[in-house]
Structure 1
Amino acid sequence: MTRAEIVEFFSRLAADNPHPQTELAHTNPYTLLVAVALSAQATDVGVNRATRRLFAEVDTPEKMVALGEEGLKAHIRTIGLFNTKAKNVIALSEALIRDHMGEVPEDRAALEALPGVGRKTANVVLNTAFGHETFAVDTHIFRVGNRTGLARGKTPLAVELKLDKVVPRPFRLHAHHWLILHGRYVCKARTPECWRCIVSDLCAFKPKTPPPMAKRATA
């Protein structure tokens, strides 16, 4: 995409959803960190279902450590890889108490040093909790970046670095949320819904997917 097309691309997404937010339920930076750590290879809906009661009782690292690994497992058994995730959440909670006075650090390196926290999780926390202009590249953003031509790359890091280079202000803060939501609900993995996409004319994907009725009519 040209710079003008990128500005138009995000202008339309912004007009359609001026204040995008994560769909992971949380109450503070700590519960956000836990929710994102639990969301790997799981849906936001599934994580929210599991954490609804958990976060009503546990909203600090100290409370999580007191709950313990087995207690946490009882809350998150419906989430994939819950054994490993429970172990990591307890370990990262202990690290926050030991190294950061129980507070979530506003620093990428410190976040990535926590058990079970990778670059994507750190980017989500920095952006959503602290307002940093970061790009958390999940499967949706990776797909949308490559499919549209906005930010092509062979790895999530390559797509992230390309987004960091091409996304202009004032769109940088919310860009990754717009792209995630667009990929989740419109630019879907198996069949993108091009017929109702507000940026389809700016997108490099061809051929565009026709409306369901049109597909049946031509079958």
Structure 2
Amino acid sequence: MTSIALAEELLLLAYDDQTGKATGSRIGLDLGMAAAVLVDLALAGRIAYVNGNIVVTDATPTGEPIADLVLAKAAGDSPHTPAQWVQRLRHRLRERVLEDLVSRGVIRDVDETQLGAIHVHRYPTTDPACEAEIRKRLAEALITDAIPDERTAALATLLVATRMEPALRLPPEEQARAHERLEEIANGAGFAGGANLEDSIVRPSVALVVATLSRAITAALGAPKTP
């Protein structure tokens, strides 16, 4: 697996570099991060979507601690649907990912006390290189018609499903086109039902996992609120 997990990529995009506070929907982020752990396992060839459930196809550890905990749990448990998995995994996942990023020096934990007793944690960026690489990949995918790699396509799809496009911090005049392009990527990957999986820009086995997880997130979040 890569040096930074998809769940970490979503979190870094969602947290403000300076204030260290989460932006956007917290539930959407948590669901997206849960799905991202499973997507990474699919990318690594460890899980697949079979007969409505996420199943383990290879229990060999990947070397990524959080993903491997999930892999071991899935291998020793009965199969669950994508919707069940994102709900099971989202609780306390963000805290664990934040702790990992702090331990690696990517962000820092600022513990502030409010009203004399309430501890509030902020996580401003310490090493901007990781997030810069993520934003560079997404920017290239948004401004060109080039086919993105599997991870970037999956990340783009999760951004749409979790309604995290504001985390891209684009000017208002670019937001509509960015949303359209993100959906194009998702459709081209077969993640949103817009393409035959055999013609997908990613492996069909991965596309199935991402597509079902994307639908699970959309169902969990419900219909978007109208202005």
TM beyond 0.5: no
Structure richer in helix, relative to its length: 1
- Select the structure that is richer in strand: 2
Q: TM-score, normalised by structure 2?
A: 0.29
Structure of greater Rg: 1
User: RCO greater where, 1 or 2, for CA within 8 Å and sep 6 or more?
Assistant: 2
- Taking structure 1 as the reference length, the TM-score comes to 0.30
